[in-house]
Structure 1
Amino acid sequence: MGASQWDYYVAYQPDLQAALDALRQHVLDTGDYWWAVPYEFGKSAADFPNRPQTEDELWAAEEVQEAGTHSILDVDRVLDTGEKPDYGTVEPVGAAEALDLIGTATLTRDHVGALWSLVRERSFGRCAVLHDEAGVPTEIFFFGYSGD
């Protein structure tokens, strides 16, 4: 199948982990993730109304264990400053990294395209706080790719 790129915008809040947790719950609740039955080609998640209702049920499915969900559900923890990225984690874009890449630490939606170059591996997410024209944080951009 290959990996899938995913991205989400959520309202800004200072607690990035709380924002990730709420986003993950929303994606699970809405079914906005890959879910299919092996060898059921040409079908999408909408064709499977009896999808798992909890993450435990979701990750118990062998096909999900093997291929992931191709969504934010494939990552579950925002790293603290200085922590090394690992499988299933989300690394915030740091000020120095943003300055080096874009020339500013006050990121906006206009910078989102350039941020994709920071995603280096599958199943490692990134996030960036985005600001309005006045420099006020307004949203968090979660992005990455996962699945197999």
Structure 2
Amino acid sequence: MGASGWSYFVPYEADISAALQRLREDVFARGDYATAEDTIAAMDWEAAAKQNLEWAKNPELPPKTRESYLAAASDYRKRHWAQVLAPKQPPAPKPRSIDELLDQEGAEGTHSILDIRSISPKAKVGAISPFPPDKLRRFFPSGMPSHAEIEEVYEFGSLEKYVSKRWRGIYIIAYNDGKPDEIFFAGCSGD
């Protein structure tokens, strides 16, 4: 499936680690994460096959490219029928805790903040770290960005370099009237 990016704003509290753990508990309680079971159920192999057949009809493409689209369509059709004809398994029981969920998902992860367990002063796997102060001033000259400013810079893709390394993330304090108001968490996880 590949990794997924995620972002959240939460109310500010001075203890960033406590805010992170509270967010993780909230995300878990809402079920706002992906499981390997969800990923398999979401595969629409028939649609992928049809799309590849359409691409294979394009006379402007080189013959080898068209052949590769036909081969992919055939493969996707086989996968579709294997999925349709496979014996239906009962859904896995809902995990009772974040740790149980993470054990269940293994290397696939949850594609959410649940994959991040701690705060670290420097970027490291499995942790959120503060956005570097020199970079903060580059994107937010005041050094005290608002929710809207952070959101705009994030949505524009300017923070991509800092939030796209798998299994880690950053946090930025958002300000309102010169006072800390929210914490922005963003990162990337899952496989």
1:49 CA displacement = 8.1
The worse-fitting range, judged by mean Cα deviation, of 113-122 and 65-74 is 113-122
Instruction: For structure 2, list consecutive stretches of 5 or more residues without a partner in the other structure.
Output: 44-90
More helix per residue: 1 or 2? 2
Scaled by the length of structure 1, the TM-score of the pair is 0.82
The worse-fitting range, judged by mean Cα deviation, of 33-42 and 120-129 is 33-42
The counterpart of 2:175, out of the listed 128, 131, 142, is 131
Which has more radius of gyration?
2
Partner of 2:37: 37
Task: Verify the 8 A CA contact 2:36 2:108 in the aligned structure 1.
Answer: no
Task: Verify the 8 A CA contact 2:5 2:164 in the aligned structure 1.
Answer: no
Partner of 2:133: 95
CA distance in 2, matches of 1:131, 1:146: 27
1:110 CA displacement = 2.6
**Letter of the aligned partner of 1:71 in structure 2?**
S
Give the total of aligned pairs: 139
1:143 CA displacement = 0.6
The counterpart of 1:109, out of the listed 98, 122, 147, is 147
Alignment of 1:1-148 (within 5 A): 1-37=1-37, 40-42=40-42, 50-61=93-104, 64-80=105-121, 84-112=122-150, 113-115=152-154, 116-117=159-160, 118-132=162-176, 134-148=177-191
CA distance in 2, matches of 1:38, 1:73: 16
CA distance in 2, matches of 1:9, 1:104: 20
Task: Verify the 8 A CA contact 1:29 1:53 in the aligned structure 2.
Answer: no
CA RMSD across the alignment: 2.3
CA distance in 1, matches of 2:125, 2:100: 21
- 1:33-88 deviations in Å (ceiling 9; x for gaps): 11242884228xxxx58321112311221xx11211000011111123xxx31101
Per the alignment, in what secondary structure is the counterpart of residue 27 of structure 2?
A: helix
Instruction: For structure 1, list consecutive stretches of 5 or more residues without a partner in the other structure.
Output: none
CA distance in 2, matches of 1:135, 1:141: 16
Task: Verify the 8 A CA contact 1:107 1:130 in the aligned structure 2.
Answer: yes
Identical columns (%): 33
The worse-fitting range, judged by mean Cα deviation, of 87-96 and 10-19 is 87-96
CA distance in 2, matches of 1:120, 1:66: 17
**Letter of the aligned partner of 1:136 in structure 2?**
K
